[in-house]
Amino acid sequence: MLGIIRAFHDLAGATSQGVQGTQAVMSGIAESLVATGVGLLVALPAVATYNAFIRRVETQTSEAEGLAHAILGYIKTPRPAPQPIQGS
């Protein structure tokens, strides 16, 4: 972002001094492209790691919910009452 700002600043200064505008802004645009490339090198692995982490959390949450449903199903299942033991 700063490279583009500098490029427009250089362009404004170049036009007032009569210098050719395209040569005046090339360094600012190049700086901005390098900064964009570095930003992408940092952002892409970060997003991939974040997505892998979220997928793992969602998988474990789903497994925990499944286990909770199984336990509740077992608890709520009606069972016959125990029969008293007949003594002799």
Residue ranges of domains in the chain: 2-75
25 and 8 in contact (C-beta within 8 Å)? yes
Residue 83 one-letter amino acid: Q
Greatest Cα pair distance, the chain, in angstroms, is 120
Residues 6-65: tens digit of each pLDDT = 766 666 666 555 556 666 667 777 777 888 888 999 999 999 999 999 999 999 999 999
**What's residue 37's pLDDT?**
86
* Entry pTM: 0.58
Q: What is the mean pLDDT of residues 60-78?
A: 95
pLDDT computed for residue 24 by the predictor? 61
Which pair of tokens denotes residue 78? 């009606």
Q: Where are the alpha helices (DSSP H) in 1-88?
A: 2-17, 21-76
